[in-house]
């Protein structure tokens, strides 16, 4: 299955429809969209850290959810009302401050539901810091 939107089109759509994701600075960049996959980069700053210098769990959940949305949009087009119905995340390692990468795959893309799998790792290393699955509801077209 080929993507129907480019990274630039997805970025423009998100900037227009969801400008709040950049309300405290541009920390997300969408790095690739390819058949069944998408990835994004996140640059954690002080507001994303917990005591002890670790990136917070809610930040990793937001990252997984956004990566899922990007891979789905990339394959169905600009559907603002596709919404998360389930997000499950496992925190595997302490994520250090700095750049994180989310790589997300489509497990299933149906007419009404899409299911994704997302691995999040530090840009500096290969080990996953979190693993998430998400289900999205797709409105009738």
CB-CB contact of 35 with 2 (8 Å): yes
Query: Any idea what DSSP says for residue 119?
Result: E
If one counts the domains in the chain, the total is 1
Residue 79 lies in a domain: yes
Residue 81 lies in a domain: yes
Domain span at residue 81? 7-137
Report the CATH number that the domain containing residue 121 is assigned in CATH. 3.10.129.10
pLDDT for 97 equals 80
**3 state SS for 85-104:** EEEEEEECCCCCCCEEEEEE
Give the Cα separation of 101 and 108 in Å (integer).
Answer: 22
Asked whether residue 49 carries a pLDDT value surpassing 90, the answer given is no
Asked whether residue 24 carries a pLDDT value surpassing 80, the answer given is no
Judged by phi (left if over 0) then psi (alpha if -120 to 50, else beta), residue 49 lies in beta
The pLDDT tens digits of the residues spanning 83-139 come to: 999 999 999 998 878 899 999 999 999 999 999 999 999 998 899 999 999 999 999
Residue 2 lies in a domain: no
Please state the pTM of the whole predicted model.
0.93
Q: What is the mean pLDDT of residues 63-74?
A: 96
Residue 1 lies in a domain: no
């Amino acid at each position: 299955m080929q993507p129907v939107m480019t990274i630039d089109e997805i970025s423009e759509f998100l900037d227009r429809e969801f400008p709040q994701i950049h309300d405290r600075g541009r920390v997300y960049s969408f790095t690739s969209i390819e058949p069944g996959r998408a990835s994004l980069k996140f640059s954690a700053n002080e507001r994303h850290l917990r005591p002890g210098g670790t990136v917070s769990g809610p930040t990793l959940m937001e990252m997984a959810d956004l990566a899922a949305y990007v891979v789905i949009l990339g394959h169905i087009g600009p559907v603002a009302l596709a919404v998360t119905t389930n997000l499950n995340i496992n925190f595997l390692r302490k994520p250090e401050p700095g750049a994180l990468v989310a790589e997300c795959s489509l497990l299933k893309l149906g007419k009404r539901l899409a299911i994704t799998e997302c691995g999040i790792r530090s840009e500096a290393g290969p080990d996953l810091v979190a693993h998430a699955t998400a289900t999205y509801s797709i409105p009738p077209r």
